[in-house]
Amino acid sequence: MQIDPKNDIIEVDGVQVSYNPDAKKIYILLNKLPGYLSACVDSRGVPTIMDLLPHTGERLFPVGRLDKDTEGLLIVTNDGDLAYKLTHPKHKIDKTYLAWVEGIPSESSLEKMRQGLELEDGMTAPADVEIVNFTDHISRRNTSGISTCLKIVIHEGKKRQIKRMCYAIGHKVLKLRRIQIGTINLGDLKPGKYRYLTQEEVESLKNISS
Ligand code: URA
């Protein structure tokens, strides 16, 4: 529903929701740690990304959530228009992930991911998928044996999409890291750290054409 922010009052269960269109826009790039929820509110003792961020006095929210056990790039902002642009599937903004999966996927199963897979909530759009390397042991889930690091680029944001895509070809995801959204790369930002996006970076996101 469209609202008129100057004249409408918005309430949820009788509590007025504050909305200040003139609030200073804030854009933060966070390298999320696994074990943190992509939530902005109290989460009954579970750490949230807010524990990793500065206190800005603004109502911030993550642009496209990451699962609790997923790590990597998260943009956190109070700019609803940009968040909408980056997350709505119609804009087809690329999101790049590194996924460490159990075993070695065959070329034919990778091709299925590239073409689009049937998940319980429908077909996935074609994805870019390439093998980055093979590794011996991923310790986080205490599994042993060969695992494969895949670089996967998707532009949708279905719930747990990467994990479900990998599972659909028979490979469990052991570790998942997002490394890029649109024009913004995680770069060498250390795990658990954040930085503010530069004006140029914000403009580059706003200017991505869909
Ligand atoms: N895909 C997933 O499976 N999990 C995430 O956190 C992000 C994308």
Q: What is the pLDDT of residue 136?
A: 76
Q: Are residues 193 and 174 in the same domain?
A: no
How is the chain split among helix, strand and coil, in percent rounded to 5? 20, 30, 50
Residue whose C-alpha is closest to residue 31's, from 69, 74, 87: 74
Catalytic center residues: 67
How many structural domains does the chain have?
2
Give 157 Cα–ligand 1 centroid separation in angstroms: 8
Residue 74 is predicted with a pLDDT of: 98
Does the CB atom of residue 181 touch ligand 1 within 6 A?
Answer: no
Claim to verify: residue 189 and residue 174 sit in the same structural domain: no
The answer to whether the CB of 156 is under 6 A from ligand 1 is no
Distance 88 CA to ligand 1 centre (A): 16
State in Å: Cα 200 to ligand 1 middle: 27
CB atoms within 10 A of CB 33: 16
Q: Is residue 14 part of a domain?
A: no
How many Cβ atoms are within 10 Å of 105's Cβ, its own excluded? 20
Tens place of pLDDT for every residue, the chain, 210 residues? 788 877 888 888 777 776 666 779 999 999 999 999 998 876 788 999 999 999 988 889 999 899 999 999 999 999 999 999 999 988 999 999 999 999 999 999 999 999 999 999 999 999 999 999 998 765 555 456 899 999 999 999 899 999 999 999 999 999 999 999 999 999 999 999 999 999 999 999 999 876
Q: What pTM was computed for the model?
A: 0.88
Our answer on whether the CB atom of 202 is closer than 6 Å to any ligand 1 atom is no
Return the best residue to mutate from 101, 161, 167, 177 for the ligand 1 pocket (most ligand atoms within 8 A of CB): 161
User: 83 lies in which domain range?
Assistant: 23-89+183-201
Q: Could you tell which of 37, 163, 175, 177 is best to mutate to test the pocket of ligand 1, judged by most ligand atoms within 8 Å of the CB?
A: 163
Q: Which of 36, 160, 166, 173 to mutate to test the pocket of ligand 1 (most atoms within 8 A of CB)?
A: 160
- The verdict on 197 and 161 lying in the same domain is no
Q: Are residues 167 and 98 part of one domain?
A: yes
Supply the CATH number for residue 66's domain.
3.30.70.580
Are 159 and 176 part of one and the same domain? Answer: yes
The reply to whether 1 falls in a domain is no
> What is the whole-number distance in angstroms between the Cα of residue 167 and the centre of ligand 1?
12
Establish if 7 belongs to a structural domain: no
Cβ atoms of 63 and 87 within 8 Å: the answer is yes
Q: What is the pLDDT of residue 135?
A: 86
CATH code of the domain in which 122 resides = 3.30.70.1560
The pLDDT score that the predictor gives to residue 17 is 72
- CA distance from start to end of the chain: 23
Structural domain contains residue 6? no
Q: Is 162 in the pocket of ligand 1 (CB under 6 A)?
A: yes
